[in-house]
Amino acid sequence: MSNQIHIDGENYFITLAIKNVVEDVVRKSQLNIGHLRMVVVVDATPFLELQRFQKLDLAAWDLIFCSGYFYNIVSEFSPEKLNKFICVDNNITELRNDLAVQLKDMHRETIGLNLADELSPQKPLFTPCELAFINDYFSCMRAKQIARVTGNNVKSVSNKKRNIMNKIHCTKNSDFYITLYFLNMLHKVELELHEPKTKVRTTVAWQRVSGQEAAAFQYAH
């Protein structure tokens, strides 16, 4: 069986650097990983990296090299999928060690020696009420609109948003959008975007986001 290593990635230099590390680890471990599908999604900002993720079918890849930003999201909210993610933000020694452990575990699974119990199913991350709010908010509805539709006041709506952001450790709107879109890819939240439920000027609804956040909405739609 061929042990030729191929790693996909849009950034040539980052992909080449990671491939060199992988080849060094494989050479020392003498593992055959030629059959593995590997991809590098690391980019300059979390938003750009999210765009790379959105082009992938996560289930189709065996190893995904990503930044600590996304690795931490997986570790916190989807640990059962952590065995296919490698954080490249570590120093070179830690990266080599993490990769060596990961490849050995994958090799054991391939030959049927992994006897570890599967992780217990996790309870839903969000309540039905929180999911409804998230989908309203991501459908470009402002706090006043959501309050009008749900019969709550604006302060209650703002508090609900803040509580949801705290639950997923977000302090900025940009992190809120990126984290939820990524959790959607991990099947931890179902984003069902819809037309705003009240008649408002679309341009007004979009004024609450700017720069990368507005682009995130456009990309999702």
pLDDT band at 162 (very low <50, low <70, confident <90, very high): very high
Mean pLDDT calculated for residue range 111-117: 49
Q: 210 pLDDT exceeds 60?
A: no
| Per-residue model confidence as pLDDT tens digits over 35-87 | 889 999 999 999 999 999 999 999 999 999 999 999 999 999 999 999 999 99
pLDDT band at 1 (very low <50, low <70, confident <90, very high): very low
Name residue 178's amino acid.
I
Choose the weakest-confidence range: 92-96, 125-129, 212-216.
212-216
- What's the mean pLDDT when you consider all of the chain? 82
What's residue 207's pLDDT?
A: 42
Instruction: Work out the burial of residue 210: count CB atoms within 10 Å of its CB; fewer than 13 is exposed, 13-18 middle, 19 or more buried.
Output: exposed
What's residue 121's pLDDT?
A: 62
For the chain, which residues make up each domain, given as ranges? 7-110, 128-220
| Per-residue model confidence as pLDDT tens digits over 178-196 | 999 999 999 998 887 666 5
What's residue 175's pLDDT?
A: 95
Whether pTM exceeds 0.85: no
Instruction: Work out the burial of residue 128: count CB atoms within 10 Å of its CB; fewer than 13 is exposed, 13-18 middle, 19 or more buried.
Output: exposed
Q: Three-class SS string for the chain?
A: CCCCCCEEECCHHHHHHHHHHHHHHHHHHCCCCCCCCEEECCCCCHHHHHHHHHCCCHHHCCEEEECHHHHHHHHHHCHHHHHHEEECCCCHHHHHHHHHHHHHHHHHHHCCCCCCCCCCCCCCCCCHHHHHHHHHHHCCCCHHHHHHHHCCCHHHHHHHHHHHHHHCCCCCHHHHHHHHHHHHHCCCCCCCCCCCCCCCCHHHHHCCCCCHHHHHHHHHC
| Per-residue model confidence as pLDDT tens digits over 151-160 | 888 899 899 9
- In the chain, % of residues over pLDDT 90: 49
d(CA 125, CA 99): 29
What's residue 211's pLDDT?
A: 45
Mean pLDDT calculated for residue range 1-27: 86
- In the chain, % of residues over pLDDT 70: 78
